[in-house]
Structure 1
Amino acid sequence: MTQVLIAGAGPTGLTLACELARRGVPFRLVEAAPGPQPGSRGKGLQPRTLEVFDDLGVVDRVLAHGRMAMPIRSTDPGGRVTLSGTEELPARPGVPYPASLITPEWRVEEALRSRLAELGGAVEFGTALAGFEQSDEDVSAVVVKDGETETITARWLVGCDGGHSVVRKQAGIAFPGETREEVRMLVADVEVDGLDRGAWHLWRHEEGLLGLCPLPSTGVFQYQAGLAPGQDAGLGLANLQAVLERRTGRTDIRLHEPEWASLWRANVRLADRYREGRVFLAGDAAHIHSPAGGQGMNTGIQDAHNLGWKLAAGAPALLDSYEAERRPVAAGVLRLSNARLEQAIEQKSIPVRRDAETMQLTVSYRGSALARDDRDETAPLRAGDRAPDATKLRTADGERRLFDLTRGGHFTVLSFGVDVPPGDFRTVRVAGRLTGPDDVVDPEGRLAEAYGADDGTLVVIRPDGHVGLISDAGDFSAVSDYLAAVS
């Protein structure tokens, strides 16, 4: 019997598979499509997601095929041109990736499949989930490949199978929300003559928005055109070119036959719950967002990062915490993306504001059953928050970042002047000098500043990069009790 059956091999399912594979958890990853999905689809990765990929050991591949802080060149109806979108967060040691990354979704999936192969896993393409039954002990799922059926028995089933999720529907989980048929957009991947690839080009027009975004590491642009009711929704080259010429007023920009095209409709939904017995939902199977703000793919990847270590441990309290932590995050993302969609419709443009919220650096699980804290509620860093990075730490192996020491999906105990006994966790002990393999010297006080730490502070960083416990009491028994409760 396999431990986990994952349905759907998009970014969410692949991230979950990588999490399980690196922990040695038996799983199967099935995908109904016959092969990798074409098309750019989502194209924005936020800094918090890049931190997840750093932890998984895949970030360098993703960065190599993307571009950070791409300029946005916007032309208004009067022909006035403005540049924006290059904003980065102020340089801070705690934030290693200060801007969003543009890269096509298929490149993200490609990088994750390569990492999965390194970890000994693979996608079973052309294998569709036909149905399942569950008991108190396991899930019995029927899959179909090449007309032949197979029954897979697993302890857990995770539906990462998108907005039309078979898993969600058969689990009987409601998916309330709305489909706004009047809000549509043509999306296509096309080669373009007569346009430079140095910026994301936008044209505002009374008829609607027109955008051409160069996709790094490819020879194509992503074409986007908002459609009002009654406008031609044809996906052929002739209509795409006609819309382009009307909205830009230019005939020197020529499109080639689209490599991929789709008609997008505004679909905004959030599952009533993320779990039914031994069945979990993640990614678009649990929440569908407007693409405004570039949040959807990122939220699914972070769902998987949260769920993976909890499935590996299997403790009931951990599994119960998945929905409690992640569903409020999705609800917040829905509010953000809906507001940005309304702004885009009203202004016939793409909102370009970038801050810690849109970059998902403020995602927090404060108040979670897994967050323990003896600090005052006004403290800037609390249990549940994202664990900040720190740079220029001296170790026995040379200068390191904190993320170099926490990478790998394990618990880390960060100690400021408190002796830490051996255990099933990694220790980072901030000391005045290097006397042992776990010691680090923080000559500029960056760790102490990032964690608001004094002598006697103890921090537990969870496998998903969030603070689980933070205590200024200098008593290691608090750490022991916490780790016993979550393992």
Structure 2
Amino acid sequence: MKSDVLIVGAGPTGLVLALHLAKYGIPFRIIEKNAGPGEASRALVVHARTLEFYDQLGFADEVIHQGIKVKDVQFREGTKVKANIHFRDLGKGLSPYPFALSYPQDDHEQLLISKLADEGVEVEWETELVSFTDGGDRVQAVIKKDGQEERKEFAYLCGCDGAHSTVRRGLAFDFPGGTYEELFFVADVEANTGEIAESSLNVYLDSDTFYLFMPVRSTGMERIIGIVPRELTDQRSVAFKDFQPLIEQKTGLSIQCVNWFSTYKVHHRVSSYFRKGRAFIAGDAGHLHSPAGGQGMNTGIGDAVNLAWKLAAVLLQKADEAILDTYEEERIGFARTLIDTTDRAFTSIIGDHMTSRLLRKLVIPHVAPLTLRSFSTARKAAFRRLSQINIHYRGSQLSDGIAAKVHGGDRLPWIQTNKCNNFDSLKSMDWQLHVYGQANEAVKDFARGCGYFLHEFIWENAMEKKGLQENALYLIRPDGYVALAEGEQNVKRLKEYVSKFNISTLY
């Protein structure tokens, strides 16, 4: 079968893109130059918005079962807890998943690979993209596999191939940004944690360093991330044993075995573009982040979801090709904002100046927890930002209208009452119409005539509190964002909207 899409890279971004294309019945190949999935990695946290996407795919509960819910963030001085932020239900009422999940990337990738296999698709390991040419109507790619080069044509090329992306380099995109001076380390260790809670994210901060440590599995393993002591960074090679006693002294951990250890530099970069012609980049190929907030991998998965349904719509002839322009438009702005935000936060934490030391010793461990405990607004704002449910596309060509507080481009507010859970409808991964109240006959006729699922939800006060308007019409995109918000159920506006890109349902 001729493949329409070539996905380069089988990390979480490439795998999620592949899973969506498989669900839509789009023929593709996914290749990876490595021999198999990673056995260790730095990405650990899975946020609520990613779990909402996985719920659409049908396996959010399985991911949660394999991971560990982070119940709280403890700020420590050795074995002593100086402050605590209860995190378990930080986003209660905002998402079906009001928590952060500890789920190491190697386990995460294995699960995604198994889900792809369930769809009848295998990753082509030890297979490399050598070069490509965009011919205008097709992409000609040279692929190296088993020592042999093959030339294949594809409708589209998607580079999910990481920081050193072959696709990004082939497109000659600049990758501006910088690299932090400090040398960081990450280690998976078996440790006696004593009285340290098994489901806590633990933060050790003092005037000259910081460490984060948290469980990665329920077998006693801990993930430790921190800064290598400056006096060791000039060594030809750094081993964990060189500063293990310091870590044990600072954190109170008793480390029995080191399963994996690596040092690395942290980058903050965003590509100048995410698309050129028939080629796209996503994930680390397009943006690199500091570890602040665990945003990088989740952002890459968001890229994949955004791109997948648009590629499917075009390849299934359910939308004009111009809809692909909205991928870069929607995702690159968020990536730039996120890089700026995490860079400022990370620089403030790791810096060597008086302000950073004050943040580490006073503001983060004492002022921040007090603020989050005392003010529900602060808690909700923190969850929205960390969980990525606050991401919106209000400035996109695909976003139009406003009804009550919900704009075109917003994530659909989650409603769960005794009578409804409006996110259940999103599992169709298709365009649909929502009316919270009663739809008029013109809307019903449009839905029947054009094949749109129309969901009428009995109006409840909880809906108004979430910003929805009674009897308003909301056109929902396949990724769960509001495309059009129309307060008057004006079918003319609805028809004008779908005709802009010749949109029709994907199934």
TM-score in terms of structure 1 length: 0.89
**% identical equivalent positions:** 33
Q: Report the equivalent of 1:386.
A: 411
Number of residue pairs matched?
Answer: 462
Q: Could you tell me how far apart the structure 2 residues matched to 1:44 and 1:369 are?
A: 32
1:359 aligns with 2:384: no
Q: Report the equivalent of 1:319.
A: 324
- Kept in 2: contact 1:186–1:227 (CA 8 A): yes
Q: Could you tell me how far apart the structure 1 residues matched to 2:276 and 2:339 are?
A: 22
Do the aligned partners of residues 484 and 244 (structure 1) sit closer, same or farther apart at CA in structure 2, a change above 3 Å counting? same
Q: Report the equivalent of 1:186.
A: 185
Structure 2 SS opposite 1:465: coil
1:339 aligns with 2:344: yes
Q: Report the equivalent of 1:51.
A: 52
Q: 1:265 deviation in Å?
A: 1.2
Deviations along 1:363-400, whole A, 9 cap, x unmatched? Answer: 0100210011155xxx4211100001212364xxxxx4
Do the aligned partners of residues 126 and 26 (structure 1) sit closer, same or farther apart at CA in structure 2, a change above 3 Å counting? same
Structure 2 SS opposite 1:144: strand
Structure 2 SS opposite 1:357: helix
- The residue correspondences of 1:1-400 to structure 2 (distance < 5 A) are 1-76=2-77, 81-86=82-87, 88-89=89-90, 91-92=92-93, 94-180=94-180, 182-195=181-194, 196=196, 197-227=198-228, 229-232=230-233, 234-248=237-251, 253-256=254-257, 258-314=258-314, 315-345=320-350, 346=356, 347-348=359-360, 354-373=382-401, 375=403, 379-392=404-417, 394=419, 400=420
Root mean square deviation of aligned Cα: 2.3
Q: Could you tell me how far apart the structure 2 residues matched to 1:374 and 1:199 are?
A: 40
Do the aligned partners of residues 24 and 118 (structure 1) sit closer, same or farther apart at CA in structure 2, a change above 3 Å counting? same
Q: 1:102 deviation in Å?
A: 1.4
Q: Report the equivalent of 2:478.
A: 463
Match of 1:418 among 434, 440, 443: 440
- Kept in 2: contact 1:73–1:200 (CA 8 A): yes
Structure number with higher helix proportion:
2
Do the aligned partners of residues 128 and 387 (structure 1) sit closer, same or farther apart at CA in structure 2, a change above 3 Å counting? same
Do the aligned partners of residues 101 and 136 (structure 1) sit closer, same or farther apart at CA in structure 2, a change above 3 Å counting? same
Q: 1:449 deviation in Å?
A: 4.7
Moved more, 205-214 or 43-52: 205-214
Q: Could you tell me how far apart the structure 2 residues matched to 1:187 and 1:10 are?
A: 19
Do the aligned partners of residues 235 and 409 (structure 1) sit closer, same or farther apart at CA in structure 2, a change above 3 Å counting? farther
Moved more, 382-391 or 143-152: 143-152
Do the aligned partners of residues 339 and 392 (structure 1) sit closer, same or farther apart at CA in structure 2, a change above 3 Å counting? same
Code of the aligned partner of 2:476: I
Q: Report the equivalent of 1:434.
A: none
Q: 1:69 deviation in Å?
A: 3.2
Gaps of 5+ in 2: 315-319, 351-355, 373-381
Q: 1:23 deviation in Å?
A: 0.2
Q: Report the equivalent of 1:437.
A: none
Q: 1:38 deviation in Å?
A: 1.3
Q: 1:451 deviation in Å?
A: 4.8
Deviations along 1:427-474, whole A, 9 cap, x unmatched? Answer: 1023xxxxxxxxxx34x344455352233x111010011000010122
Code of the aligned partner of 1:386: R
Q: 4+ residue runs of structure 1 moved beyond 6 angstroms? A: 349-353
Q: Report the equivalent of 1:427.
A: 454
- Kept in 1: contact 2:305–2:479 (CA 8 A): yes
Structure 2 SS opposite 1:16: helix
Do the aligned partners of residues 25 and 90 (structure 1) sit closer, same or farther apart at CA in structure 2, a change above 3 Å counting? closer
Structure 1 SS opposite 2:266: strand
- Kept in 1: contact 2:15–2:112 (CA 8 A): yes
Q: 1:130 deviation in Å?
A: 1.1
Q: 1:204 deviation in Å?
A: 2.5
Moved more, 147-156 or 416-425: 416-425
Code of the aligned partner of 1:389: W
TM-score in terms of structure 2 length: 0.85
Structure 2 SS opposite 1:309: helix
